[in-house]
Structure 1
Amino acid sequence: MQEQHAFPFLREIILFLILAGILIPTLQRLRINQVLGFLVAGTLLGPFGLGLLAARFPEVTWLTFPSGQGVSMLAEVGVLFLMFMIGLELSAARLWAMRAWVFGAGSIQVAACTLLIGGAAYLAGQPLATAAILGVVLSLSSTAVVMQLMTEQNTTSTRLGQAAFAVLMLQDLAVVPILVLIGVLARGGGDDAATLALVALAKAGGAIALIYLVGRRVIHPLFKAFARHRQPDVFMALILLSTFGIAGLSAAAGLSMALGALIAGLLLAETEFKHEVELMVEPFKGLLMGLFFMSVGMSMDMRHVVEAPLWLAGAVLGLVLIKASVVTLLFRAGRLPWCRAVEGGLLLSQGGEFAFIVLGYAMTSKLLDPTLGARVMLAVGLSMFITPMLARLGRAIGERGERAASERAAHKDEEALAAARGQIIIAGFGRVGQQLAKLLTAQGIPFIAFENDARLVSKLHAQGVPVFFGNASRPELLRLVHAEKAPAIVLTMDNPALALQTVHAIRRDFPDAPLFVRSRDERHARALTRAGATVVVPETLEASLQLSAFVLESMGLDERTVDDIVDNERDLFAAQLNDAGLREAGSHRT
């Protein structure tokens, strides 16, 4: 027994890792949403599934989770990282750029759904406090399910994807006042409830502002100081320190740890280290979210389906109809076509993961009847289960309607052209990269740059230049900025070996990307050409050509003649590079 307590929940951890090792690749191969897969696994193997047989058959204990306690502790870590990743997407700049959708459409959606769902619950005989809790909780949608579906469908960058993401951002922000509201209702207050709520909100707002301001003074200098060492273990330690440290400060201030993790993500979203942080967390995000959603599945008692099948069917249908209708009307008011508005309504019609957190808190605070709370949780889970089907239906409606509309609306082509244009990606932001960026900015051409020098990145990022800390030889970093749609990828780094390595990596994962590369000399240029560079510009060649041009002009040749001479030399060098590449390719074949 002593050995068993030395490592609590070891059996649960091993069982979860086995399931994750089997589930994640299987679900990816079958193209099944991972969130739903973990929900099903938690439901089947949890205390209300096969875990019910553990008392009669002790052997079943090794293959199930008879008690959710073993996973709930680890699931809390999953919630923290879920909120942290959401915070990374909720940068102040992005919120401001989408302010009309976030604070306009998002606020209206939450308010309208709260009134309609809460009003329906009140008319069905629920007390006012219970109806208010159900209304506000069920107004939220599932960020995890919707974002994964949009990523799979490649719709995150479309107008519909941006509108849906904006509504989800507001819903994530709304979790803060919802948790405060639950706390106020749990403490009671009678006639003073409104005053108590205002005071609690004011205190929470002050604590959040203080944590955010203090965090800004600490987080960015901390990352800036240690990023120059370029050690992944140090970088990961800083991410964990930021997440758990600010979550701990939030808990000490009387707020939830999840809110602190959200603030940590917000703080890092404003820095030049955002993309590198996303890459560091990405391998663990799926596992940690899997823990959370598996614990959610364990809380779903499927016996209620037998006890109240009509109630559950009516609850799921009513939830989907109300939310889909509200979102559809909002998106249509935002000038999305009817077909895409309906698609967005179906996509956001489910209940959200925060419902399980808030409803669980409400039940432990005795604000919600346990039986009602369990049934509502099950209804939310079932609505998440049917979301992929609803998303496919909405996608079919959207594509069919857009095909019909494209025949009548020629101005749609302009939007498609703008979306396809993308951004030029610059890898290496020294003198050459900065000069290129200056010319692109003057022509109004968008770009994004990556640089390994943390000091230079911090300096330029503070001036509003879109340069981020990161290594462009990592294909996953390029995927984050949609390199497959970039009109050009330009490598300006002065390290020959790194440039060659980056060309190989980009060509392997982005074979069709236009790749323009700076080379050290002719030998380096030939190596880059063989690796797959589209255009190679040796710095020694350009320096000699420019110097020659000035000399020729000083000798009396006119500018046009000099330009022709220089262009001919460039063409001759390019032809020599191509001939050398063809000869080497032929020798390799023989």
Structure 2
Amino acid sequence: MAGTASHASFLPPVLVFCAAAVIAVPIVRRLGQSAVLGYLAAGLAIGPSGLGLVGDPGTILGVAELGVVLLLFIVGLELKVSRLMSMRRDIFGLGLAQMAVTGVAVGLVAQWAGFSPAGAAVVGIAIALSATSITLQILEERHDLHTPYGERSFAVLLFQDLAIAPILAVVPLLGTAGAVGSLPDALTGVSIALGAVLAVVIVGRYGLNPFFRLLADSGAREVLTASALLVVLGAALLMQEAGLSMAMGAFLAGVLLAESNFRHQLEADIEPFRGILLGLFFISVGMTIDLAVVRQEWRTLLLATPVIVAGKALIVAVLMRTFGSPWRDGLRAGAALSPAGEFAFVLLPLAAGYAILSPSQAQLLTALAAFTMLAGPVAAKALDGWLAGRGEPEPEPDSFDGAEGEVVVIGFGRFGQIVNQILLAQGVDVTVIDLNVDRIRNAARFGFRVYYGDGGRLDVLRAAGAGRARMICVCIDDPPGATRIVEMVHQHFPQAATYVRAYDRIHAIDLMNHDADFIVRESFESALAFGQGMLEGLGIERDQARAVVDDVRRRDTVRLMLQRTEGMMGGLDLLHGVTPEPLVEPKAKTRALSPETRDIIGDESI
């Protein structure tokens, strides 16, 4: 019973988090604001400074950081190495410029406000960083992650993650304590970090695909989910031990799996954990806000928060414009990047530990960072409303090379393979999903891009880019499954046309009743082609044979429509050779040659 009691002790905090989220987030969304603001407000309400329903936000924050880790893994899955290399100008150009300009500007203001030079440097770095989780959440809510400005915003975030290891190495050098011998330690730390990155790259490049293929062969879907979490959390932990951020390790693992056949299934398996833990992270950040500090320094916070949010947004907008983006994109990126980063909650206490900042200064700056996280989503939403009011066109989305296809094909069996030959011959960008590992392995030999996944799952379709596809082709040989996919596509991806392989006539009518856009029975057209060949083999002219086949096809189509409305017996008179009464009197009575046949035709003779 003691074990039951210990398990039950976890239930009250879980219920508090769930209740806070389901109350705060819908209210905030109803007000037209980002869900992030709702999570932060919920955390503030239930935290130690609010109602005190949860007393230790630090413990929760440690677990909730996994939400950011999983988010970066999913983002990495959508970036190929080639795409990442093409972004190097934005990563090391725009990202470095944003950190340098923002850091210097904030640092100068901090020094003017009375901070020491070392303290001002730490403040500048901490505020210059942006909240990865909030920025990506805002871009996802806007559906702009794959637009030009969304990619550039992500490039800035990626540079900031890369800069974390050098920042951690520099902080001890700025402090009065532990300065001696810090430089060799810093160099050692950088070497360890580079070694960890190299290890993740080697394992990801040569080990992960065979690993996932072996697990997929076992047919145990839950093991694939566990293996996905193992890879993400393992890479994150390795990077953390090497002095880099956990998010950086997860992102790197995602990039290395971006070209894997298992990419979409991994994304679908990770997504539920990512959403829950990311919401928990935002709640835990809200819990860290100390209302005692807020009450004491409310004037400073009230003045500094909008100044920092507006200043960071303006700096990013100017730099984006310098790098060739239009002002509209620059402003939207600036608003998304304006909140201070999650790393500020690590960097500021660390600086206080090295006596670079006083405890009161660290508390004030931590509260300021949290307030920018509250104000940033509000500013981004207000900017969206202002830009929409001006009536300017939305930026056109950029095609994300290799991420999603113009057509999504579900099923790579005999039927699906022929369909893909036609599409690829025309140069159509195709994403193919199949659950058969052998088919995927064979497809890779011929250059097909086939991903492991269950096309009947909504999360897999979303991960495969169904929300942006023009057409979804269902080529599986499971009639109920194909019908369910059509229903799902019409409900969640109305922009996509549904082209479906029907198993037989009954399945075709079922698909018609579910408003599939195009239906073909898997054996009908091949049987017509076979029949035409037979007629030509019997000496009938090709044109005459084709006319006969066209007539059969026309009659069959009309009959199919009648069967849809009248039932399976509708349109019998349209069949060649089937009439209600015989045209001539039979010369002999029909005789059944077996008891089974006698029952069918009603022959009562003995």
Q: Shorter chain as normaliser: what TM range?
A: 0.7 to 0.9
CA–CA distance in structure 1, aligned partners of residues 307 and 541 of structure 2? 79
1:350 is displaced (CA, Å) by: 2.0
Specify the code of the residue in structure 2 equivalent to 1:351: A
CA 1:129–1:87: 2 relative to 1, 3 Å: farther
Q: Which residue, out of 471, 479, 488, partners 2:454?
A: 471
Q: 1:488 to 1:266 in 2, by over 3 A?
A: closer
Asked whether the equivalents of residues 340 and 398 of structure 1 are also in contact (C-alpha less than 8 Å), the reply is no
Count residues with an aligned counterpart. Answer: 566
1:19 is aligned to 20
| Alpha-carbon contact 1:12-1:70 (below 8 Å) kept | no
Query: 3-state DSSP class of the match of 2:55?
Result: coil
Letter in 1 for 2:440: V
Report the equivalent of 2:597. Answer: none
Give the distance between the partners of 1:380 and 1:308, measured in 2 at CA.
Answer: 14
Contact 1:88 1:265 in 2 (8 A): yes
The alignment partner of 2:431 has SS state of strand
Structure-1 separation of matches of 2:547 and 2:132: 58
Cα deviation per residue 1:505-533 (whole Å; 9 max; x = unaligned)?
Answer: 33343456321112233333223222332
Q: Which amino acid aligns with 2:476?
A: M
Secondary structure of 2:412's counterpart equals coil
1:104 aligned onto 2:97: no
Q: Give 1:512-551 correspondences, 5 Å limit.
A: 513-551=496-534
- Residue pair 1:90, 1:266 contacting (<8 A) in 2 also: yes
Note closer, same or farther for the CA distance 1:565–1:200 as it changes in structure 2 (3 Å cut): farther
Contact 1:247 1:260 in 2 (8 A): yes
- Residue in 1 that maps onto 2:36: 35
What is the rounded CA distance, in whole Å, between the counterparts of 1:24 and 1:285 in structure 2?
A: 17
The residue that corresponds to 1:355 in the other structure is 344
Please give the TM-score of this superposition, normalised by the length of structure 2.
Answer: 0.81
Question: C-alpha separation between the residues in 2 aligned to 1:462 and 1:331?
Answer: 42
Q: 1:291 aligns with which of 280, 299, 304?
A: 280
**Is residue 339–residue 402 contact of structure 1 (8 Å, CA) maintained in 2?**
no
For the pair shown, the structure with the greater C-alpha radius of gyration is 2
What secondary structure sits across from 2:432 in the alignment? Answer: strand
Structure 2 equivalent of residue 318 of structure 1: 307
Structure 1 match to 2:54 = 65
Letter in 2 for 1:583: E
Offset, 1:427 = 0.7
Residue 56 of structure 1 is matched in structure 2 by: none
Q: Distance in 2 between matches of 1:112 and 1:215?
A: 35
Q: Which amino acid aligns with 1:212?
A: V
Residue 523 of structure 2 aligns to a residue in which SS? helix
Deviations 1:100-150 (A, max 9, x none): 433432332223222322333344443333333222222222232233333
- Decide whether aligned partners of structure 1 residues 346 and 445 sit closer, same or farther in structure 2, where only a CA change above 3 A counts: same
Alignment of 1:128-277 (within 5 A): 128-182=117-171, 190=179, 197-253=186-242, 257-277=246-266
AA partner of residue 314 (structure 2): S
Structure 2 CA distance for aligned equivalents of residues 100 and 561 of structure 1: 65
Provide, for residues 407-451 of structure 1, a one-character-per-residue CA deviation record: whole Å limited to 9, x for no partner: xxxxx9xx58989x9711111122332333333233232221111
Gaps of 5+ in 1: 52-63, 407-411
Does residue 509 (structure 1) correspond to residue 509 (structure 2)? The answer is no
- Partner of 2:388 in structure 1? 399
SS at match of 2:455: coil
Cα distance, 1:257 vs structure 2: 4.7
SS at match of 1:35: helix
The Cα shift of 1:201 comes to 1.9
The TM-score normalised by the length of structure 1 is 0.83
119 and 9 in structure 1: CA distance in 2 versus 1, 3 angstrom threshold: farther
Does structure 2 conserve the Cα–Cα contact (< 8 Å) formed by 1:427 and 1:489? yes
How far, CA to CA, are the matches of 2:293 and 2:208 in structure 1? Answer: 47
- Structure 2 residue aligned with 1:54: none
Q: Is the 8 A contact 2:340 2:369 kept in 1?
A: yes
Confirm or deny: 8 A CA contact 1:184 1:196 kept in the other structure.
no
- Kept in 2: contact 1:185–1:193 (CA 8 A): no
User: Which residue is 1:45 aligned to?
Assistant: 46
Distance in 1 (alpha carbons) for counterparts of 2:344 and 2:64: 15
Is 1:480 matched with 2:481? Answer: no
Residue 339 of structure 2 aligns to a residue in which SS? coil
More off after superposition, 446-455 vs 432-441: 432-441
Cα offset for 1:11? Answer: 4.5
| Aligned position for 1:368 | 357
CA deviation string 1:352-377 (max 9, x = no partner): 22322333443345443222222222
Identity fraction in percent: 33
Conserved in 1, the CA contact under 8 Å of 2:314 and 2:334?
Answer: yes
Root-mean-square deviation (CA, aligned residues, Å) is 3.8
More displaced 10-residue stretch of structure 1: 392-401 or 348-357:
392-401
Q: Deviations over 1:317-339 (max 9, x none)?
A: 33223321222123323443323
Q: Give the number of the structure whose residues are more often helix, by fraction.
A: 1
Q: Distance in 1 between matches of 2:379 and 2:119?
A: 29
CA spacing shift, 1:572–1:195, aligned 2, 3 Å: farther
CA contact (8 A) 1:296 1:356 kept: no
* Corresponding position of 2:566: 583
Change (3 A) 1:416 1:378: closer
Letter in 2 for 1:145: I
CA separation of 1:27/1:316 partners in 2, compared to 1, >3 Å: closer, same or farther?
closer
Q: Aligned partner of 1:450: which letter?
A: I
* Cα separation, partners in 2 of 1:203 and 1:249, compared to 1, 3 Å: closer
Q: Which moved more, 1:309-318 or 1:577-586?
A: 577-586
Q: Aligned AA for 1:155?
A: D
Contact 1:324–1:345 (8 Å) recurs in 2:
yes
Decide whether aligned partners of structure 1 residues 97 and 564 sit closer, same or farther in structure 2, where only a CA change above 3 A counts.
Answer: farther
For 2:138, the aligned partner's letter is: L
AA partner of residue 339 (structure 2)? Q
CA offset at residue 215 of structure 1?
A: 4.4
**Is the 1:529–1:577 Cα contact (8 Å) retained in structure 2?**
no
Supply the distance in 1 between the matched residues of 2:95 and 2:111 (Cα, whole angstroms): 24
In the alignment, is the contact (CA less than 8 A) between 2:407 and 2:473 conserved in 1? yes
**Which is worse superposed, 125-134 or 183-192?**
183-192
Q: Is the CA contact 1:363–1:370 (under 8 Å) kept in the aligned structure 2?
A: yes
Conserved 8 A contact 1:426-1:447: yes
- Which amino acid is the alignment partner of residue 273 of structure 2? F
Q: Distance in 2 between matches of 1:251 and 1:161?
A: 27
For 2:96 and 2:549, the matched residues in 1 are separated by 61
Alignment partners' CA distance in 2, 1:149 and 1:15: 25
Decide which of 313, 319, 332 is 1:343's aligned counterpart: 332
Look up the SS of the partner of 1:228 in the other structure: helix
Is this contact kept in 1: 2:265–2:452, CA < 8 A? yes
After superposition, the Cα gap between the structure-2 partners of 1:360 and 1:143, relative to the gap in structure 1 and judged at 3 Å, is same
Which residue does the alignment assign to 1:381? 370
Query: Deviations along 1:385-412, whole A, 9 cap, x unmatched?
Result: 2223322332234335563x79xxxxx9
The equivalent residue for 1:116 is 105
2:516 match: secondary structure: coil
